[in-house]
Structure 1
Amino acid sequence: MQPMLATRAANKAALPRGVEWCYEVKWDGVRALADTTTGAVRLHARSGRDITRAYPELGGLAALPRAVVDGEIVVLAAGVPSFEALAERMHVRDGARARLLAARSPVTFVAFDLLVLDGVDLTRRPLDERRAALEALDWPERTQLSPTYPDLDPLWDVTLEHGLEGVLAKRRTSTYQPGRRSPDWVKAAHRGTRVAAVVGWRPEGTNEAGRSAVAGAGPLGAVLLAAPDATGAWRYLGKAGSGLGGRRGADLERALRGLVRPDAPLLDPVPAADARGVTWVEPRVGVDVAYLQRTRSGRLRQPTVRALRTEVPIDPWESP
């Protein structure tokens, strides 16, 4: 089963209001479905990939009675999610390393919807009924409920003040629609975040003439980003040069090896200043990026790479 997705609102003013809506914090983490219908817990990412091994501290979820719970895996620092702290955990496959990281930087599973309980499918029931069943459960260690609020304005102000990602509005009567981006859930962020594909890279020290300022330079200096539109064509999102240092940049450079292609896989023309010195690659590696806003042409302003996100769906390109 795939998680239900929210449509995007441009800002607070575009979020729906009224008694038929409730509001939640938009958590900045990894979306996951926790499935205990077999008696053990299995965690699945939005792509469907099994990510159970990466988060051993969430084994207590197995106590939930034959349930499927939708939620977000986060690392909380003073009550606020730290995506940077979570990034180190996201791609761990080795059990011993996962246990070491769990002891050093444990995650929390923030639950916000209940799809199955005692083996019974609840997806066709209204949100208020699913939430009541969710709140009645006994929650194990390293888990918590995502609170709901009746009013948008106070939650918007608090999330902005505390550096949280944004707010999610949900229609109280809505069913759970697996895999669908539904207008019954609407999200707005204080800052833009998205998953994009890397379609090209430039080495550190590349100048505007397209030459590396350092002979034999290998570390990434910038990556070119894209997303697929409704037809499947790749649209250019811009160039990101921040967030590529240290282990993150090294991991990304390794992930791009073997994906080189002779030209850009893009429908849009790339500005000459961005394209100089670029090695083009197949759009198979995703990165999580934060940005200030989108321009009228759809480009991201001042994008920063926050994490490597392989094996996840790339968020679609939408007209700004």
Structure 2
Amino acid sequence: MQPMLASVADGIPSGPEWVHEVKWDGMRVLADVRDGRLVLSSRTGRDVSVSFPELQGLAETYDDLLLDGEVVALDGGLPSFAALAERMHVSSPRRAARLASTRPVTFMAFDLLRLFGSDLTGQPWSSRRELLERLELDSSAWQVPPVYEDGAELYEATRDQGLEGIVSKRRSSPYAAGRRSADWRKSPHRATLSVVVGGWRPETGTTNRMGAVLVGTPDGRGGWAYAGRVGAGLAGTAGARLGALLASSRRDRSPFSTDVPREDAAGATWVEPRVVVEVQSLGRGSTGKLRQPAYLGLRTDLTPDDLHEVSDG
């Protein structure tokens, strides 16, 4: 099963038919418990159970359930995607266990899709929520975050606290697995963006050490518009890891449908636009390029098609 997705709000919904939740800056995960075993799946269906060993205790809570939620890593009490990025792609059980003790995650469970063999996706959100709260899932590694009646107030509060934003949900909505629905609407604050990597440049004075990546966003025609050069945040292991991932996808020409300035293209190695990363910036300048972008981490839970879908939706 794929998770239900939220559309972008053009205003915060109000009225008794809506409730509102904090939008977490993390990784969307389905937690499937059956026969004493837990399987964690990313939004793209990838099994990420090994990456988060501290969540294995969910297998002992109930005999059969399927939860939808967000895995977050807290840094100074606030969710940090940069902190989570170190955990998302780990495939070594030994390394995952070590990171679980030094940089633990929390699973924020916000929906219940199956319980004791019964499919709940056709029931309204309000019924699913009532059952979820009855489960009393509360530990240091997982919790059921609260919902709020006043969306505008929550939006302002999350902005003041430095959180990512809010998600508004229609109480009567069924769970539309794998679909983007107007019954769920997201209102983000932070200027973070998922972009595709179309090339990279070496660090000054080197030939093979990554200094910056050239990134793009959907151009509205199925291609990629150039969005700028990102160098901040790529020092050390972050750049090395990304470079290793891009090594097998070289191509002869730029994959971008718009022009790349000569100063950005100089010395670039072009790659197939397959890898999605998260960046933070001060928005876009008059040329459409990101202003002062910084690399936050890989988005192994997203594909380039996901970015086109969000843009088209």
Instruction: Give 1:269 deviation, angstroms.
Output: 2.3
- Give the counterpart of 1:281 among 271, 293, 303: 271
User: Are 1:238 and 2:235 matched, yes or no?
Assistant: no
Tell me the alpha carbon deviations over residues 119-164 of structure 1, each in whole angstroms, 9 at most, x when there is no partner.
Answer: 1111111111111111110325311112110002321222112211
Map Cα deviations across residues 72-100 of structure 1 (whole Å, 9 max, x no partner).
11122453212222221111111111111
AA at the equivalent of 2:120: L
Which of 254, 263, 268 is the aligned partner of 1:264?
Answer: 254
Match of 2:213 among 201, 206, 223: 223
Q: Which residue of 1 aligns with 2:99?
A: 101
> Aligned with 1:28: secondary structure?
coil
Could you report, residue by residue, the CA deviation over 1:227-262 in whole angstroms, capped at 9, with x for unpaired residues?
Answer: 445653233232212211121111111111121110
Q: Cα–Cα, structure 1 residues 103 and 228, in superposed 2: closer, same or farther, change >3 Å?
A: same
Amino acid aligned to 1:31: R
Displacement of 1:171 in angstroms is 1.1
Q: Normalising by structure 1, report the TM-score.
A: 0.89
Matches of 1:105 and 1:241, distance apart in 2: 25
Separation (CA, whole Å) in 1 of partners of 2:16 and 2:160: 25
Alpha-carbon offset, residue 199 of structure 1: 0.4
Amino acid aligned to 2:307: P
Code of the residue aligned with 2:100 in structure 1: it is A
Q: Secondary structure at the match of 2:131?
A: helix
Structure 2 residue 10 is matched with structure 1 residue 16:
no
Structure 2 residue aligned with 1:290, among 258, 275, 280?
280
Distance change (3 Å), C-alpha of 1:115 and 1:223: same
Q: Aligned match of 2:57 in 43, 55, 60?
A: 60
Match of 1:111 in 2: 109
- Distance in 1 (CA, whole Å) between partners of 2:14 and 2:259 is 40
Deviations 1:22-45 (A, max 9, x none): 111110111100001343110000
Q: CA RMSD in A?
A: 2.1
- The alignment-based identity, stated in percent, is 49
What residue in structure 2 maps to residue 84 of structure 1?
82
Change (3 A) 1:186 1:281: same
Equivalent residue, structure 1, for 2:307: 316
| Distance in 2, Cα, partners of 1:75 & 1:86 | 5
Could you tell which deviates more after superposition, 258-267 or 290-299? 290-299
Which sits farther off after the overlay, 72-81 or 97-106?
72-81
Q: CA deviation at 1:295?
A: 5.5
Give yes or no for contact 2:220–2:312 (8 Å, CA) kept in 1. no
Structure 2 distance, partners of 1:22, 1:270, is 44
